[in-house]
Amino acid sequence: MSKKPYKYLDLIIFLSVTMMAIVNVISGKIIRVSVFTLSAASLCIPVNYIFADVLTEVYGYKQARRATWILIFSTILMAIFFQLAILLPPAPGFKGNDAYTLVLGQVPRVVVGAWIALFAGQITNDFVLAKMKLFTGGKYLWTRTVGSTVAGQAVDSSLFYTIALYNVIPAGFLMKSILSAWFLKVFIEIVMTPVTYFVIRKLKKAEDEDYFDRNTNFNPLLVKLRQEK
């Protein structure tokens, strides 16, 4: 098998990391969408799951796992520098320190919850899609993109809201928040299916790749950050 690097793999990972950086900044804003009350980040996270679908469908599970670990490391680095920016004393005359502290100073359990939910949700999404691709013989792409999102977002939303908000809000409202976030994210995935189809079709042709994870080690804790086939 050719060892030449893929042309667009790192670009997709870069876009995924950028989207997660946006999520980390806007997650503290609570918005109202129709009957749903949720974090503004809930509108962005499904885009990352679309990236995950593209990575697993075109390049395989191990490349998607690599992308997930890069996401985790980048968000940890971001959190460290967010805290550093908050702790450093503001210059005399600077009036925006309280605003920066409010936006960037997330509660530790929220940050940890986001990391755990991101890792578990992404890995679940990638595993389900890779296995479904083998089961369907590469047919019925929509079943994999939607099915993997249903599973991955269920894990993501359940873990994040439970870790971040358990005993903070009433149990009934917590469950409502989990279900609302899960439903909206899956709905966005379904709406975006034509876009996902288009991108996957173009990438498979451009990369001359349509990876099947027949002999893949699905251990989620394997960490390989360099690009390889």
Residue ranges making up the domain that contains 23: 9-207
The Cα 120–Cα 153 span in angstroms is 10
In the predicted model, what is the mean pLDDT of residues 32-54? 78
Residue 217 counted as domain residue: no
The predicted structure's pLDDT at residue 226:
64
Average pLDDT, the chain: 85
| Total tally of structural domains belonging to the chain | 1
In the predicted model, what is the mean pLDDT of residues 17-40? 76
Nearest to 132 by CA among 40, 56, 31: 56
pLDDT at 2 over 50: no
Write the pLDDT tens digit of every residue in 56-74.
999 999 999 999 999 889 8
pLDDT at 228 over 60: no
The predicted structure's pLDDT at residue 206:
95
Residue 222 counted as domain residue: no
Write the pLDDT tens digit of every residue in 111-144.
788 889 889 999 999 999 999 999 999 999 999 9
Write the pLDDT tens digit of every residue in 171-227.
787 888 888 888 888 888 899 899 999 999 999 999 999 999 999 999 998 877 666
Residue 2 counted as domain residue: no
Residue 95 counted as domain residue: yes
The CATH number covering residue 146 comes to 1.10.1760
pLDDT at 109 over 90: no
pLDDT band, residue 110 (cuts 50/70/90): confident
The string of DSSP letters for the chain reads ---PPPSSHHHHHHHHHHHHHHHHHHTT-EEEETTEEEEGGGGTHHHHHHHHHHIIIII-HHHHHHHHHHHHHHHHHHHHHHHHHHHSPPPTT---HHHHHHHH---HHHHHHHHHHHHHHHHHHHHHHHHHHHHHTT--HHHHHHHHHHHHHHHHHHHHHHHHHBTTB-HHHHHHHHHHHHHHHHHHHHHTHHHHHHHHHHHHHHHT-----SS----TT----S---
Residue 223 counted as domain residue: no
**Helices 171-191, 141-165: crossing angle, 10 deg rounding:** 150
pTM of this prediction?
A: 0.83
Residue 1 counted as domain residue: no
Residue 225 counted as domain residue: no
The predicted structure's pLDDT at residue 148:
93
The predicted structure's pLDDT at residue 224:
72
